[in-house]
Chains A and B, each alone.
Chain A
């Protein structure tokens, strides 16, 4: 330990000894002064502190808000249409709970101060009042009905079926990173099975090469999305539970091994636009893993780039299908264009069976 650390410890011990001596002394004083008098004095001090705590506390809450508001996402418009609904819901809830919070805290501390023990007064015997109790059963019930109704209305909108024109992308989590798979020109994600996984042979996602739908599937290192175009993420995990956390889009969905999940949304702002809106040159949409997944959990980051359709088309046309990477000698090159169209790629993906014995 350095000398400053010793110093801190010594100071703490000294502070404690002082407090202890004062505490001991106050007991002797109370014996000398009479317990009643000491009690009255302490009671007045504590009652007054109740009032101080209320006033200072509310002021501090306001100050805290002033300091931190800009650091949250509350002021920044949501980057997805779903997120807008979530923000509306947030403000409704903040308003209702905010009012209740301020009122109840004021009542609590004000009553504590006002009704401090006083010789001249007697406590009011008031065991119950059915009308009052009915009132504060009914009012919260009504407020919560409002919150539940709004909440579920938005919930069904957000979790409902993705629009038909939505772009599909598969996101797969593993310790500690994300993989992305685009369906390629055919618009269909090929079948896969975990037993086919073989990163050394260029097949980190367990794609079944016998399924021609796989032959044009792309496996880029970043997630690119098109602004104003709905996207449906098919979320998988290879090992433990992860979570696709999209703070700016206000969305989240777990990646569960063995059970693919889905989530769809429509990005509203390109990354460039967000840089402008936040005034942050380095702004980037990040995917955070939000489900504890091991010692590298805190570093499990993905990057999303939202761009215009033209930019996206340019980017995606430069990507090479994973099939080509996995078969550098081009061995069983089958024309991908003849692939039979599969209508529901998620179903195809989930129903995949272990066919190949690579």
Chain B
């Protein structure tokens, strides 16, 4: 096995904080729970903030699903809550578009980027590489507080008179650049852009920290090829973010210039509502290039960490090594590399040069190869395992199922010929919700159920976990599977009402079924949230140090570790993280030296 190639770099003992059991220096409530520099606390902060955002974003989808499922209904209570946004009990178009836009923004960035990477990178990097904390705990804290700042600003935008941004989460100019083009393009759009700029700062502070910690602070013996796949996944994620978020940032800054300083980066030849604008020479397509140069890696920023989480949780609960460890790393590397070379597949129908389009077709479909390798490796990991269906493990199986379903439809959309028909239809909605929405949530849930005992020293309730999984799984397919058919009918996305269309009006009943499943699935997520918070205080207590029988280093720390993680010295690592079921032993922790008569592979 290649993990025996022990390249002994990064083996610098980090004994700066010699007797670091977390109680030596004075901790106040503020330094422990608010401005904490402890990676574990920051992880919890990211997770709980992410959960709050997920509830807000999910609730928005419930509201616009009510509109889609019941376009003729009048619900007076909506007007009681939302005032003129739901005049006469009907969600207004501006409100509908604002809901869709904010749902996308919140779920993609605030939940599945910050909430997901923020939680598991912070929690797992120091634990699993064997470090007392991040390379820069202070930067880590800043990363969280910039995220909070971004959150506050975007939350504020929900309450301004003209409403939040409403041009779709991609905020394409000129729609987003011209205040007169849409209510949401007024002050709400400025707040959106400022919030996202803060968000990029948060991501860069976090990402640089993740990379430097993984590269420099591994414990003795922890070579790169002994790292758990979670850490590899987070490493690739962080690198993607560091290289692509600045490009997005520049795109947003230029958009702000166009909005307020009279520049014409994205604007040309515009007659808006009879007004001839002076801008000439810009191109809205430039924005799309800048946006998707992040936008596409972004979907891998979302899905890669969950691939790592799933690989780890699946291997532990199948009591088998992850199949093809090196192939898993190689495929993640390939995905991360290709992620930068496929962005224009979002732009096949913008008038892009067809030859350029064909290059992007080739590179896009190439991504299916490493993705397929990963799927087959996961399936083979289950083969002849001895599977324990913890809630975490259930979500791993769900993740793979969803990733297959959503990945295969990517082969349709990545093919420019089919994209001509399917672009911006419900097929796209189905595709990306399954592959990076539901899959990512499944991976995240797997991680939360699995590492909850490490975070809080208690278990989450299993029965509620099982119900959560099965209802989510069924609802996810009921919601998104039929949407492919709407896509095959050419039904465009982002429509407030289809009743005026001869070509698309026959899906009313189907939309009602989908809306019903969406609401049910939202309620089940609320049950999960209840389970989460209830279990923090009242869950069954963890009584053993290593409840899952796992190999990685976090389970060598005390049940409730203090700041610094290990009371004594940081343990030394002697093997890879996946010796499950080897030589008749159920598991062999990474800290156990390789025995003399141990079989090699």
Which A residues contact B (CB, under 8 angstroms)?
Answer: 1-2, 5, 12, 16, 19-20, 22-24, 26-27, 39, 42-43, 45-47, 49-50, 53, 57, 60-61, 64-65, 68-69, 71-74, 82-83, 85-86, 89-90, 93, 96-97, 100-101, 104-105, 107-109, 111-112, 115-118, 121-129, 132-133, 136-137, 140-141, 144, 147-148, 150-152, 154-156, 158-160, 174-175, 194-195, 197, 199-200, 206, 238-241, 243, 245, 247-248, 250-254, 256-259, 261-262, 280, 282-284, 286, 288-299, 301
Query: Apart from A124-B320, A127-B323, what are 9 other A-B pairs with CB-CB below 8 Å?
Result: A50-B397, A73-B490, A108-B397, A144-B366, A174-B271, A247-B503, A252-B424, A256-B285, A295-B166
Asked if B384 contacts A124 (CB within 8 A), the reply is: yes
CB-based contact A68/B510 at 8 Å: yes
B206-222 at interface with A (beta carbon < 8 Å): none
A105: B residues at CB distance < 8 A: 401, 404-405
Q: Is the CB of A132 within 8 A of B380?
A: yes
**Given A64-B482, A101-B408, A241-B174, A257 and B401 contact (CB-CB distance below 8 Å):** no
A41 to chain B, nearest CB (A): 11
B591 to chain A, nearest CB (A): 19
Smallest Cβ-Cβ distance to A94: which chain B residue: B412
User: B93 contacts which chain A residues (CB < 8 A)?
Assistant: 295-296, 298
* Cβ–Cβ < 8 Å partners of B273 in chain A: 175, 239
Closest to A239 in B: B272
Which A-B residue pairs are the 5 nearest by beta carbons? A247-B490, A258-B268, A261-B351, A72-B488, A159-B354
Q: Which residues of B contact A90 (CB under 8 A)?
A: 412, 418, 421
Q: B389: which of A12, A47, A122, A128 is its contact (CB, 8 Å)?
A: A47
Q: Which residues of B contact A152 (CB under 8 A)?
A: 358, 361-362, 416-417
Residues of B within 8 A of A42 (CB): 389, 462, 466
A108 and B268 form a contact (CB under 8 A): no
Partner of B584, one of A12, A117, A122, A248: A122
Indicate if the CB atoms of A140 and B369 lie closer than 8 Å. Answer: yes
Bound CA span A5–B578, Å: 52
Q: Can you give 10 A-B contacts (C-beta < 8 A)?
A: A68-B510, A71-B506, A104-B375, A122-B386, A123-B319, A123-B386, A240-B175, A250-B420, A258-B284, A282-B502
A258 near B183 (CB under 8 angstroms)?
Answer: no
Binds A, one of B4-12, B246-254, B492-500: B492-500
In B148-201, the 8 Å CB interface with A consists of 166-168, 172-175, 178, 181-183
CB nearest to A253 among chain B residues: B349
A147-B365, A257-B269 given as contacts; is B523 within 8 A of A292 (CB)? no
Tell me which residues from 467 to 492 in chain B have a Cβ below 8 Å from any Cβ of chain A.
467, 470, 473-474, 477, 481-482, 485-486, 488-492
Give the chain A neighbours of B492 by CB distance below 8 A: 245, 288-290
Are A298 and B498 in contact, with the CB atoms below 8 A? yes
- The answer to the question of B550 belonging to the interface, with a C-beta cut-off of 8 Å to chain A, is no
Q: Determine the chain B residues whose CB is within 8 A of the CB of A27 once the complex forms.
A: 461-463, 540
Residues on B close to A: CB < 8 A? Answer: 1, 76-77, 80, 93-94, 97, 166-168, 172-175, 178, 181-183, 267-274, 276, 280-285, 318-327, 349-351, 354, 357-358, 361-362, 365-366, 368-369, 372-373, 375-380, 382-389, 394, 397, 400-401, 404-405, 408-409, 411-412, 415-418, 420-421, 423-425, 461-464, 466-467, 470, 473-474, 477, 481-482, 485-486, 488-492, 494-498, 500-504, 506-507, 510, 523, 527, 530-531, 540, 578, 580-584, 601
Which of B166, B320, B357, B418 counts the most chain A CB atoms within 10 A?
Answer: B418
Q: Which residues of B contact A46 (CB under 8 A)?
A: 389, 394, 466
B351 in complex: contacting residue of A53, A108, A194, A256, CB < 8 Å: A256
How far is A249 from B474 in the complex, measured between Cα atoms in Å? 35
* B507 vs chain A, min Cβ distance (A): 7
Nearest residue, chain A, Cβ from B317:
A117
- Cβ-defined contact, A256 with B424, below 8 A: no
B321 in contact with A64 (CB, 8 Å)? no
State in angstroms the CA–CA spacing of A199 and B172 once bound together.
26
Q: Assuming the A-B contacts A123-B320, A123-B581, are A240 and B496 also in contact, with contact meaning beta carbons closer than 8 angstroms in the complex?
A: no
Given A46-B466, A239-B272; A115-B387 close (CB under 8 Å): yes
Please tell me if the beta carbons of B463 and A26 are within 8 angstroms of each other in the complex.
yes
Decide if A117 touches B387 in the complex (CB within 8 Å): yes
Report the minimum CB–CB distance from A154 to chain B (whole Å).
Answer: 4
Q: How far is the CB of B494 from chain A (nearest CB, A)?
A: 5
A45 / chain B contacts, CB cutoff of 8 Å: 466
Is there an interface contact between A155 and B354, defined as CB atoms closer than 8 Å? yes
Q: Are B503 and A122 interface neighbours, CB within 8 A?
A: no
Contacts of B380 in A (CB 8 A): 126, 132
Are B283 and A259 interface neighbours, CB within 8 A?
Answer: yes
